[in-house]
C-alpha cells in the first residue's frame, strides 16, 4: 500500500497525540525509596548495663530486626562513643541508634556514623554540639535522683533508696532490687564530656518523654524533644520506661526503623 505525504503526516500527528494522552493518563513512575533499617543499636546510660534493654529486645527481634545492645564502658565520653561506633561499624546497612538516659550523649555524637538512619532518645540527654549540658539542666528544677549519687573516689553509682524510688519508681520492687544489684558504675570523668556534633540536627529524631521521671526533669526532656523537632511520645513512666513500658518504646523504635521505607 502506498501512503502519500498528507496521509503520513496525519497519521504521525495522530500517533503523537495518542502518545501524549496516554502519557498524561499514566501515573508518574515511583521514586525508589531508601531501604528501611534492618538493624537497631541500643545504648544504656548510668546506673545500668546492656541488659536493661532486654524487654525491648524481646519485642524487636520477632520483627526481623538485628539488635545489638552496647556494653557502654562509662569511663569517658570519647571512650563510650568509640564503643558504640565499633558496634555501628559492624552493622550491614541502615541502623537505628537508640539511647537511654546518659546514653543520649553517646547517641548524639555516635549518631553521625554513616550507618545511622535515625536516632531515638528514651528519657535521654540530647545535647547540642559543644553545649554544657550540666549548665542547661540547671535551668530546670533539680530531679531528686541527683542527691542519691554516691562516689567511691572517681567511681560513682546510685544509692539503693534513690535507685528504687527515683530511678525505677514504677518497677516492681523485687525487679528493681535486681536492677540495683547489677548497676554498672561510672567514672566521674564521664560527666565532663561534651559532644562536638549533634546527630539530631542531621538525622530523623524520635523522643520518648517520661512524665514521672525523677532522674531527668520531664520538662527538660520536653524541651530537648521540641528543640530537635523530634517525633515525640509521652509515657506515664519513671526514668526506666524501657522496662515499665517496653511495648510503647519498642513501637517508637519500629517507627524510626520504618523511616523512609
Structural contact between residues 180 and 159, judged by C-beta atoms closer than 8 angstroms: no
Q: Give the confidence band of 186 by pLDDT, cuts at 50, 70, 90.
A: very high
Q: Give the confidence band of 117 by pLDDT, cuts at 50, 70, 90.
A: very high
Strands (E), the chain: 39-43, 66-70, 95-100, 116-122, 149-152, 155-158, 186-187, 205-210, 231-235
Predicted confidence (pLDDT) per residue in 53-62, tens digit: 999 999 999 9
* CATH number for domain 39-259, candidates 3.40.50.2300, 3.40.50.1820, 3.10.105.10, 1.10.287.130: 3.40.50.1820
Residues in the chain, total: 261
Structural contact between residues 93 and 115, judged by C-beta atoms closer than 8 angstroms: yes
Structural contact between residues 78 and 190, judged by C-beta atoms closer than 8 angstroms: no
Q: Give the confidence band of 12 by pLDDT, cuts at 50, 70, 90.
A: very low
Predicted confidence (pLDDT) per residue in 216-229, tens digit: 999 999 999 999 99
Name residues whose C-beta falls within 8 Å of residue 240's C-beta, 6 or more positions apart in sequence.
52, 167, 168, 170, 171, 179
Q: Give the confidence band of 33 by pLDDT, cuts at 50, 70, 90.
A: very low
Q: Is 148 exposed, middle or buried (0-12, 13-18, 19+ CB in 10 A)?
A: buried
User: 19 is written with which cell numbers?
Assistant: 502518545
b/e map 99-138, b = 16+ CB within 10 Å: bbbbbbbbbbbbbbbebbbbbbbbbbbbbbeeeebeeebe
Q: Give the confidence band of 44 by pLDDT, cuts at 50, 70, 90.
A: very high
Q: Kindly report the pTM of this predicted structure.
A: 0.86
Amino acid at each position: 500500500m502506498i501512503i502519500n505525504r498528507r496521509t503520513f503526516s496525519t497519521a504521525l500527528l495522530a500517533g503523537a497525540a495518542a502518545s501524549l494522552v496516554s502519557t498524561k493518563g499514566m501515573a508518574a513512575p515511583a521514586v525508589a525509596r531508601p531501604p528501611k533499617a534492618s538493624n537497631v543499636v541500643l545504648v544504656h546510660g548510668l546506673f545500668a548495663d546492656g541488659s536493661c534493654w532486654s524487654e525491648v529486645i524481646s519485642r524487636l527481634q520477632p520483627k526481623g530486626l538485628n539488635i545489638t545492645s552496647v556494653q557502654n564502658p562509662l569511663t569517658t565520653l570519647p571512650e563510650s562513643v568509640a564503643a558504640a561506633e565499633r558496634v555501628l561499624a559492624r552493622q550491614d546497612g541502615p541502623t537505628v541508634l537508640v539511647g537511654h538516659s546518659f546514653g543520649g550523649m553517646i547517641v548524639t555524637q555516635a549518631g553521625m556514623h554513616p550507618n545511622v538512619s535515625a536516632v531515638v532518645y528514651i528519657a535521654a540527654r540530647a545535647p547540642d554540639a559543644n553545649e554544657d549540658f550540666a549548665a542547661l539542666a540547671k535551668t530546670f528544677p533539680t530531679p531528686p535522683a541527683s542527691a542519691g549519687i554516691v562516689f567511691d573516689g572517681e567511681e560513682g553509682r546510685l544509692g539503693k533508696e534513690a535507685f528504687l524510688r527515683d530511678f525505677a519508681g514504677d518497677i516492681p520492687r523485687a525487679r528493681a532490687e535486681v536492677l540495683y544489684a547489677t548497676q554498672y558504675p561510672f567514672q566521674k570523668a564521664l560527666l565532663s564530656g561534651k559532644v562536638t556534633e549533634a546527630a539530631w540536627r542531621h538525622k530523623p529524631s524520635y523522643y520518648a518523654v517520661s512524665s514521672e521521671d525523677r532522674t531527668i526533669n520531664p520538662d527538660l526532656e520536653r524541651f530537648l524533644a521540641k528543640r530537635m523537632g523530634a517525633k515525640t511520645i509521652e509515657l506515664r513512666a519513671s526514668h526506666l520506661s524501657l522496662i515499665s513500658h517496653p511495648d510503647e518504646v519498642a513501637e517508637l523504635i519500629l517507627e524510626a526503623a520504618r523511616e523512609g521505607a
